[in-house]
Structure 1
Amino acid sequence: MDLVARKKLNLEVLKRHDPNICDILDQSAHAVVYKFDTEKTSWEKLGYEGVIFLTQG
């Protein structure tokens, strides 16, 4: 699948969750969410991993 077709498909799927999304500005194939613990001065993994999309609404 070429990049234009993939972006179109991803946009259609994202719009099912939020119809206000009008464009995908950027994306990453893999992202992990961390939280900084100020008491331990270390990063804590929150358990969210996967594709991330930066969208415009």
Structure 2
Amino acid sequence: MKNLKKLQRNELKSVTGGEICFCLVSPDACFELNINNEGKHYSFDCCTMTCKQD
């Protein structure tokens, strides 16, 4: 029997232009961008469902 690791989900709150959005995302939703980012950090924006540079 394989022991499958459950994906953890973090509740995230984004505020974009006065709009408050909630969503559940994996802790590293922008993982690939943050690896290849040359020092810039990206965060997931629930309102647009995209990664945005901080």
Q: What TM-score, normalized to structure 1? A: 0.31
Q: More helix per residue: 1 or 2?
A: 1
Query: Greater RCO between the two (CA within 8 Å, min separation 6)?
Result: 1
Find the structure with the greater CA-based Rg. Answer: 1
The structure in which a higher percent of residues are strand is 1
